[in-house]
Structure 1
Amino acid sequence: MTVAPVNPPARLLMGPGPVNADPRVLRAMSAPLVGQFDPVMTGYMSETQELYRQVFATRNDATLLVDGTSRAGIEAAVVSLVRPGQRVLVPVFGRFGHLLAEIALRAQAEVHTIATEWGQVFTPSAVEEAVARVRPHLVAVVQGDTSTTMNQPLDELGAICARHGALLYTDATASLGGNPFEMDAWGLDAATAGLQKCLSGPSGSAPLSLSEQAVAVVRSRHRVEAGLREEGDDDAPDPVLSNYFDLGQVLDYWGPRRLNHHTEATSMLYAARECARVLLDEGRDQVVARHARAGAAMLAGVRGLGLGVFGDVAHKMHNIVAVEIPAGVDGDGVRAALLHDYGIEIGTSFGPLHGRVWRIGTMGVNARRDAVLTTLAALEQVLRRAGARVPHGGGVDAAAEVYGDAA
């Protein structure tokens, strides 16, 4: 059997992620491999840790990468912070809140959830009422949930959890880099992310940061010498239910002793390091502002086409918008035509929003004027062919007005 080389078609990825990787990140991934304990490699690891401290806005020494997709980072955080039987509270406002609850259940936690209508977020008072009632060991919350496009405010939750003796973990996969994020100022104990959204990289590496309090919890479960309960040692801590995702061992791997745990995914380390370097070179605040402007332009553009927008726009992430599919229009057909005729990908949705909205992203390297205007121009043409009555040039004109002549 003859197999052709990998040669994917050109795509403009304007969905909820993954998005196009920055060419500088792809170039970094093509760099030669070195051994995992080569001083060059361990130097890159230390540099990557310092870069992500700046990205997360933290002084946490325990800032590192988990080798795997963003879900690997989520699982590592949850299984390492939660013992079987401990209470975990998950505020659910979209699909990925349900994911946090599922992972906590698999970690054998006693999981409690609170829910709000899709398209809304939680008030601090609602979260505090639940924390006071449940008395959890850990509160696990998504910051930006791409299934609903909502951005949960976190700035008051750290203080709430501290008052009630709970740790606070957030999944910032879809939000980090494109929306404000202040780990230390907000009092977060643990945060994880991925590269494939606002950080302009490929999926496969999960940046993670832990506060000193979170590290103490992880260490309380980790026997450095053995990692296992010895026969007759009734006071030994419960081992983490995963070897690969045991952050106690991963911390030792990234720490000064460099204790072997796994073989570092070298090319993904290069990618993660370059994602952070590129973001910080542009400027952390400037990248957030670029995402805010691109998101505002896309929002204005879809409204300029006469399309409705789902959810509480005041709490929408900068980097994605949920666009209501017009009555009588085949939503999947529009997506297929955009991909076939224009090479542009936008997203569908899940659960109660399946078939009701498209999700259009403006994130990472694609949070830029030409990508926004091209997507809106193509969407207008496809909608018109699908029978929708949309204003000629309405989307592009509205978005261009947001950018202005100086853009």
Structure 2
Amino acid sequence: MNPPTPSGARISIIGAGPGGLTCARVLHRHGIAATVYDRDPDADARDQGGSLDLHEEDGQLALGEAGLLEEFFELARCESQEERRIDPAGRVLAHRLPGEGETARPEIDRGQLRELLLRSLDPGTVRWGHTLESVSGPADGPRTLTFADGSTVETDLVIGADGAFSRVRPAVSDAVPRYTGVGFLEAWFDDMESAHPELSALVGRGSAHVADGERGLFAQRNSGGHLRVYIMRRVPLDWMTASGLRPEDTAGIRARLLGEYAAWSPRTLRMITENDGPYVDRPLYALPAPHTWQHTPGVTLLGDAAHLMPPLGVGVNLAMLDAAELALALAGSATVDDALRTYEETMLPRSARYAEMLDGGAGFLLEEPDAGELARFGEPGRGPGHGEQGIPGQ
């Protein structure tokens, strides 16, 4: 069959995260229709995660192509660019305050970013309650999407924006995510100024990071007086069940953590002991570095589906840049296949460079800072990353 033109193609995006929605929005601005399929039953089905720092050279660039940059800055928290590096005794080792008018890496809650993107799309663009099972069909198309409820859809282009454990990835690659050996436990804190004033003072308005070489804590302000803390440790993947613990056993998990962090001061241990609600287990996965594939007509990937890396500040930014570049390639190409080749010629080498640089980087989050790192801490973007990778999701 003749390769379809982008304007006449049936385009299916799998995953309504920042990458998938950005791609749909930029396509829409160029008069190209796309349908987004997501496994969640609706937009409010689950917590969307913590805060994201969007960089002016990629995430903000993508929002500019989406025509949403002005609205983004109405929601973003520039004051949350503040960063602190703390030692286990609770002493501040390094402190960075954003400059007046600095907008290099403002923060926005992941849920707020998703709502901004969803509002920008026509009703019906996102089809909720569609869990993809597989992609099949001949290389010259059309491709067939099979969903968990048995329904199928024929499409000319499948864009896998479905995260760490992508169901689209097997159509182009045999690669699977591997556990990095580092696990996060996520803890939530509400009403910071009234309920947790000492912790609020320790963390400041942005983020705070403390580590001793084997374990660490990363605290991150969210909007509305909320805070999230990521408790970071080198642990086996099955550490919880091997310890006889269950996810709902908050007291038992806390006791285990207090034993592991026994040498730390009560001031820093507030990040472990004062949380409002349960701990959420978040093991970190990464794809082999670099992850590439042979060009496959009618299928491509973006974001974590393409290049799952440790959470060192690049994940969502690369996903949104991928999405914008793919949409622009489709808008500027004669055929869908030409567009995929243009996109992958840029995206794959870029993601390979980042993946090789960050390979094994999950352990960086647990390292004690040396004098050189502390000296560089005042430079924008030099703190520990929280642009969010692979909290495994859709």
Flag the structure with more relative contact order, 1 or 2, with Cα contacts below 8 A and sequence separation at least 6: 2
- Work out whether the TM-score is over 0.5: no
TM-score (norm. length: structure 2) = 0.24
- Where is the helix percentage greater, Structure 1 or Structure 2? 1
TM-score (norm. length: structure 1) = 0.24
